[in-house]
């Protein structure tokens, strides 16, 4: 195994990035019928960003 072959979870990466910059990270989820929706929201002094994903 090499260091470059290790997989880091993207949620973990986002959490660590937010901790490093002292940003707040919030997750919310909902379900509409058979569709699941997850939203991630990052807020800080100079940042406000949100993204969502859906899964059928």
- The total of structural domains in the chain comes to 1
Strand-pair partners of 36: 31, 55
Q: With 0.85 as the threshold, say if the pTM is over it.
A: no
pLDDT at 1 over 70: no
Residue range of the domain that includes 9: 3-55
Confidence band (pLDDT; 50, 70, 90) for 2? low
- Read off the CATH number of the domain in which 16 is found: 3.30.160.20
Q: What pLDDT sits at residue 8?
A: 79
Cβ proximity of 28 and 36 under 8 Å: no
Token pair 């939203």 is found at 39
Q: What pLDDT sits at residue 9?
A: 87
Q: What pLDDT sits at residue 10?
A: 87
Cβ proximity of 36 and 52 under 8 Å: no
Tokens of 51: 């993204």
Which tens digits make up the pLDDT trace of 3-54?
666 777 888 999 999 999 999 999 999 999 999 999 999 999 999 999 999 9
């Amino acid at each position: 195994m090499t260091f470059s072959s290790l997989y880091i979870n993207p949620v973990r990466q986002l959490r660590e990035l937010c901790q490093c910059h002292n940003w707040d990270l919030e997750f919310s989820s909902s379900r509409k019928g058979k569709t699941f929706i997850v939203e991630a929201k990052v807020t800080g002094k100079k940042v406000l960003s949100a993204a969502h994903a859906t899964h059928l």
